[in-house]
Amino acid sequence: MNARTLADLAAPVTALIALDAKFSHLPAPNVDFCPVYPDRLRLSLHDDLGAFEAWREALNIDPTAVVHRVQGGGGTLVLKVHGRFAGADIELVGFGLATVPEPVELGSEAVS
């Protein structure tokens, strides 16, 4: 197999330029592309699941396609979804704290 060149990453690079032109007002994600998946642009957002949702909505990706996971011993919520934009596969990933509700202590009053 021949080594890939920068030209092989034209789809995600072009998509990134188009994203900047159309969505420059959205929160800045971490951006990643690599020759292993030359058609993919990965946008990851850390500690702000609202930013993930803003990007998902802007990219018009179906919310029911989002995959939810928990990692880090249950402390980190991970949201992941794929979509298409400007000829590239967009992998959108959001990381946030997985909060567990505090237990509610029942008082002496009956709850009906």
**What is the structure's pLDDT at 2?**
75
How many CB atoms are located within 10 Å of the residue 92 CB? 24
Residue type present at position 99: T
**What is the residue extent of each domain of the chain?**
28-97
**What is the structure's pLDDT at 106?**
60
The tens digit of pLDDT for each residue in 15-48 reads 999 999 999 999 999 999 999 999 999 999 998 9
What pTM was estimated for this model as a whole?
Answer: 0.83
Distance CA 101, CA 99 (A): 6
Burial readout 65-82 (b: 16 or more C-beta within 10 A, e: otherwise)? ebeeeeeeeeeebbbbbe
CA 109, distance to chain mean position in Å, is: 44
pLDDT-above-70 percentage for the chain? 88
